[in-house]
Amino acid sequence: MTTTHKPLVVITGASSGIGLATARLLSERGHALLLISRRLEPMLQLGLPNSLALSVDITDRQALVAAVAQAEKKFGPVDAIINNAGVMLLGSITSQDPNEWDRMLDVNVRGLLNGIFAVTQGMVARQHGTIINVSSVAGRKAFPNHVAYVGTKFAVTGLSENLREELSPSNVRVITIEPGAVDTELLSHTTDDAIKAGYNDWKQEMGGVLSAETIAEAIGFAYGQPQSVCVREIVVCATRQQP
């Protein structure tokens, strides 16, 4: 049997924004893809060749592990995972519903760890693989009304550092992508309208934010290096973004 595609890449959060743009880019480069998010339709609408789109909530560890196994059966071993799915529910620490912190911690941290769990054993056994974790510039510095979100993204940046040290002897790369503001659906889930309006003003003040395609290109650059080269971190922001 001849293989007509490049190795399998798993992308979480592929139904919109950065994940969707990355799916398009890596498909153009010939990779087989496992696309994961809760909404199936936008992933199916992409119509990408050699792709499997599955509706999975990444906080469901068993379902995520089963999805990866299903894709591996179809396309061969997973070469990379892009742990991109995330939510940003901005709020003031004095008034925000704590359920919103729980949701961010569940998806951004626990869900991301589930993604790591789903692929690590196989990558170590094969002595080959790449884990790309989408953190944020909010994983390096503070922003107004971001306490819980910043907490989740510092967690992603921190655990990625640790993971890199643990997996590098097994020839597995760990890459952290830390974007500044990007034009996606991310802000839309914040429930506080005043905070949303302020965030939109901030985007305008900097003369517009990055496109999802710009972040996809950064991911593609890092992943496209030879396996012996690990671009450990990429921080990318609009030039006029402050802070």
Taking the CA atoms of residue 133, residue 234, residue 78 and residue 9 in that order, the dihedral angle to the nearest 10 degrees is: 100
Say whether residue 118 binds ligand NDP (CB under 6 A). no
CB of 59 to ligand NDP, least distance (A): 5
Considering the complex, state which of residue 42 and residue 77 has its C-beta at the smaller distance from ligand NDP.
42
Considering the complex, state which of residue 83 and residue 120 has its C-beta at the smaller distance from ligand NDP.
83
Footprint on residues 133-172 left by ligand NDP (CB under 6 A) = 134, 136
Among 179, 216, 230, 233, binds ligand NDP (CB under 6 A): 179
Say whether residue 53 binds ligand NDP (CB under 6 A). no
Say whether residue 115 binds ligand NDP (CB under 6 A). no
Q: Does the annotation mark 149 as catalytic? A: yes
Region near ligand NDP per CB under 6 A, out of 22-30, 31-39, 69-77, 119-127: 31-39
Say whether residue 240 binds ligand NDP (CB under 6 A). no
Say whether residue 34 binds ligand NDP (CB under 6 A). no
Say whether residue 190 binds ligand NDP (CB under 6 A). no
Among 59, 170, 171, 214, binds ligand NDP (CB under 6 A): 59
Do 124 and 170 meet the contact criterion of CB atoms below 8 Å apart?
A: yes
Say whether residue 104 binds ligand NDP (CB under 6 A). no
> Which residues of this chain interact with ligand NDP, rule CB under 6 A?
12-19, 37-39, 57-59, 84-88, 107, 111, 134, 136, 179, 181-182, 184-186, 212
**Residues marked as catalytic:** 149
